[in-house]
Amino acid sequence: MNCDTWEGEGMESPTVWRGSTLGERAQDRREQFIAAGFRLIGADGTGAAAVRALCREAELSAKYFYETFDSRGDLVIAVYDRVVGELVEVIGAADIHGKLPERLRITFMAAAAYFEEDPRRARILFRETLVDDVLRDHAVAAIPVFVLHVAQVVWRDGGSAGLADPDKLGLVVSSLSGALVMVFLNWLEGRISATADEVADHCTDLVLALHELGTRTRG
């Protein structure tokens, strides 16, 4: 019996079950595991994301886990990448306009609102990269997309020609990465008493200061 016969008799293809294909079901399971990883890591860190715990949280078997991910580390990276992707989307959707200081402030306000809405996002993006070897290596290799977006905001300014030197750009972006991560992390974990507006203003001043340093020419 060929596929045309199956469809003609109103029956589903062997690869379709309850209206969804094998690929769609595999993608659904992937989303379930990522959501489970987000909840576990966001609440208790990457140490809580053992395969057995992930399967229990996702209500799926270990068989499906290993069909979806090669290892627990791959799942942890997928959760991290999901948070990064969401942050980039939030910043991309913001109405970034005006001169450089205003553009920077709007960017940081959008980021602050994203993290305030669910502090687990900051833990995954910032705190866990400090303590988990897999995430640390991944973050270092990729360079935080958030910081790169900030750099792109700066590059759109006509006076940023001094950042064209790749070595100088690397120094500036590395400085921004460390500083911005600690500002947001300490603020969201309550070690800095400040409003979102104050955090955005401080981060804007920080970027402007490093931008000036990066474009400065030595006599």
Structure tokens at 194: 């400040």
Query: Which one of 10-19, 146-155, 157-166, 206-215 scores highest in mean pLDDT?
Result: 206-215
- Say how far apart CA 168 and CA 162 lie, in whole Å: 8
Q: Can you tell me the distance from the alpha carbon of 159 to that of 101, in angstroms, rounded to the nearest whole number? A: 13
| Residue 26: partners with Cβ closer than 8 Å, 6 or more residues away | 67, 68
**Does the pLDDT value for residue 3 go beyond 90?**
no
Residue whose structure tokens are 């948070």: 83
- What is the value of pTM for the model shown? 0.83
Q: How confident is the model over 17-73, as pLDDT tens digits?
A: 566 788 899 999 999 999 999 999 999 999 999 999 999 999 999 999 999 999 999
CATH class (in words) of the domain with range 20-69 = mainly alpha
pLDDT digits (tens, 9 = 90+) for 108-118: 999 999 999 99
More confidently predicted of 155 and 170:
170
Give mean pLDDT, residues 8-22. Answer: 58
CB 100, CB 157: distance < 8 Å: yes
CA distance 104 to 151: 10
Q: What residues does CATH 1.10.357.10 cover in the chain?
A: 75-219
168 and 109 Cβ atoms separated by less than 8 Å: no
Does position 95 have pLDDT exceeding 60, yes or no? yes
Reported as type and span, the H/E element at residue 73 is: helix 72-93
Residues 6+ apart with CB under 8 A from 123: 41, 42, 45
The CATH superfamily of 75-219 is Tetracycline Repressor, domain 2 (1.10.357.10)
Range list for CATH 1.10.10 in the chain? 20-69
- Residue keyed to tokens 């209500």: 59
Name the average pLDDT for the chain: 83
Lowest-confidence pick of 77-86, 88-97, 146-155 = 146-155
Q: Is residue 89 pLDDT above 70, yes or no? A: yes
Between the alpha carbon of residue 205 and those of residues 78, 81, 109, 219, the distances in Å are 33, 28, 13, 25
Task: Determine the length of the chain.
Answer: 219
Confidence of residue 141 (pLDDT cuts 50, 70, 90): confident
